[in-house]
Structure 1
């Protein structure tokens, strides 16, 4: 037997104070959709809604329910907090390990010298590798007293570029690092073999510090 009466839905406007702007939420949804090269119709189909509803959400004409926020967050693999404008962290904590395994891997190879020698290799997605270098540069900029506003604006552009590249980049696009011990580095035989491998390979093999 169904209960009568309207269903009370919790909306973003209930979560945030009444006088707070809704613009950040709609901007983030539109931005995520565009970064993923999706039309309003495609997003609507993915979350089982109409194009009209998505258009109204992006224009701020329709309140965003928590149920809808969860559907959109799940579709784009970001946190609900990010969708709702609560901080800038897009990461879903439960998905961190899965995401890490998609973009970073370690494998061991046997390299044949006078004796078989196993060398571990770290493979990292090239776009992620480049973005980590961007973060390192940002830290250097801070030490050089570059204005925080300039650094933040630059990081935001680099983040957007990286997310866009993730959509287009081949899953096989990786940079490789040979994880060498101090003994390996001191071995002329190991280093000569790695240098020859580097010359013969289309990928990058680099020493870990």
Structure 2
């Protein structure tokens, strides 16, 4: 074993998390932690790991950006034809993970996933910088390209095509909503005796809260 790697560790001591500290609803609790993360001015606070399963049953994970959340769930945007888009078309389930290192906190989310309606995707697309909107047209996300030059030529072609500034949303690009069935809040504690409180959605529509061993 490489001890230089194996010996990397940090003892977490900032805070604790008790059953009496949390809201009855996990989205409300997420909102409380989200506000603290925002006020802490964390870099890329909305970065989250998105895990999906391929049509062949193989897991894959990557970082995407949270763009909204509400009582219905968590929203992100991407190319529908990308690897993750194909995964979610085959298996409409996803997992999300936020890791806010400076707060010694992690939030895990599991749930079902579905495309947002076209109007919501249009609204967000048109709020993006022009360069990003052109990029959504130029990039055949997750497909093999010959080299960087090919990508740059594709971008230049689309830049010329949309020189007027009128850039519609591509049909292959839009938003997804992850509707949670499980949300876990993790607070680092000393000696790896971390606090873990998990909410699970019941068939009746309510949520239960339980403590998990670390």
Q: Same fold by TM-score, threshold 0.5 exceeded?
A: no
Higher relative contact order (CA 8 A, sep 6+): 2
- Structure number with larger C-alpha Rg: 1
